[in-house]
Amino acid sequence: HEMDTRDIQRIHGNLGNIYEQDNQLDSAMVHCLKAYEAGRLIEHGTTDYTAFVMEVIGNIHLKRKEFDNALEYYRKALPLFIKHNDIKEIICVNNSIATIYIQLKKMDSALFYANRAYDSRKLSTYIRGIQQTSALLAEVYKAMGLSDSVVKYLEISNTLKDSIYSQ
């Protein structure tokens, strides 16, 4: 029975992820909520895949500018990614939370989450995520008027971007 539930969760979760990336947010939400409900039946919703579904639901809310809802799902997903030592997703979720706080003009909170993502770089080969983190840090420091830090993180971001696109 559990294998069937896992299959249902993965099918809906994968469809939700595809629809979210294609900005078909209503379809994405329908599939993600089905995946989320299935995931709650598996290990009480504590699997790494359930965390991934929560992240996608957070992404949908972020794109809809429903920041409180996005934060709720990111905050549910983050401890599970930490539990499963999924550094790539830890970086992605911290970047998404930092993005929300930038949009809300809460630069101290944005800086906190962007720094959490940036600190994970030592444990990861996820160059795109660290490049995005560096760009977020530059944006936060620009809003705070700290031009030396803006230059530092823009240089890091641009160097990483060059390495991504030269591969």
Give the integer Cα–Cα distance in Å for 130 and 64. Answer: 24
Give the pLDDT confidence score for residue 3 in this predicted structure. Answer: 61
Q: Region 120-142: what's the mean pLDDT? A: 91
Which residues, at least 6 apart from 3, have a Cβ–Cβ distance to it below 8 Å? none
Exposure b/e, 44-63, CB count within 10 A at least 16 = b: ebebebbbbbbbbbbbbbbe
Q: How far apart are the first and last CA of the chain?
A: 44
Helix (H, G, I), strand (E, B) or coil at 42: coil
Question: What is residue 46's predicted lDDT score, i.e. its pLDDT?
Answer: 79
Average pLDDT over residues 114-122: 92
Alpha helices in 22-126 (DSSP H): 25-40, 48-63, 67-83, 87-103, 107-119
Q: What is the pLDDT of residue 167?
A: 67
As a whole number of angstroms, the distance between CA 77 and CA 95 comes to: 13
